[in-house]
Amino acid sequence: MTLAFSSVGGSPGKATVDFFVKARSFGVAYNGITASAAIPEFIYRGPGTPIFLVGYDIPSAASYDWSSFPTAAVNNRTASWQEDLTTVDSPGRAAVGINPAGQANHDNKTFIAGALVGLAGAAILSAIQEALHASD
């Protein structure tokens, strides 16, 4: 897409293009423990160094640790990433976030489930032993 630059009062020109995709889960996945967002490839041929901004609607986005590709802005509903384009091609990449509180909650539930399964197994073995003793 060719962009039309506008200048105001002799300052450098500015052009903005928004590409909105109306899809349920286009380029983003989240489950309360991990989240990932696709940052698409961007090719720019022209003067200057443009800024490429990508944003996604992610519930509880601020609770994720986005250390693989830090966010430019994040709140409880959205996360945005910004990349200054110094070359003509910005390769696509994925931003991955981990929710430490969600992960700890999931780990606790897994531990409790394992303990209950172990307890149930022990009760079954005890019942089998008692049944064998009763027939003696």
If asked whether residues 24 and 43 sit together in one domain, one would say: yes
If asked whether residues 85 and 125 sit together in one domain, one would say: no
If asked whether residues 28 and 87 sit together in one domain, one would say: yes
Burial of 23 (0-12, 13-18, 19+ CB in 10 A): exposed
Mean pLDDT calculated for residue range 109-126? 92
If asked whether residues 26 and 72 sit together in one domain, one would say: yes
pLDDT given for residue 136 in this prediction = 66
If asked whether residues 92 and 79 sit together in one domain, one would say: yes
If asked whether residues 87 and 132 sit together in one domain, one would say: no
pLDDT given for residue 116 in this prediction = 93
- Structural domain range at position 123: 101-136
In the chain, helix, strand, coil percent, each to 5? 30, 30, 45
If asked whether residues 115 and 88 sit together in one domain, one would say: no
Which residue matches tokens 């509880």? 60
Q: Read off the pLDDT of residues 24-44 as tens digits, 9 standing for 90 and up.
A: 777 889 998 999 999 888 887
Q: Read off the pLDDT of residues 43-101 as tens digits, 9 standing for 90 and up.
A: 877 777 778 888 888 999 999 999 888 999 999 999 999 887 766 677 788 899 999 88
DSSP 136: -
pLDDT given for residue 36 in this prediction = 93
If asked whether residues 57 and 105 sit together in one domain, one would say: no
If asked whether residues 26 and 79 sit together in one domain, one would say: yes
Residue 129 scores a pLDDT above 80: yes
| Averaged pLDDT score across all residues of the chain | 83
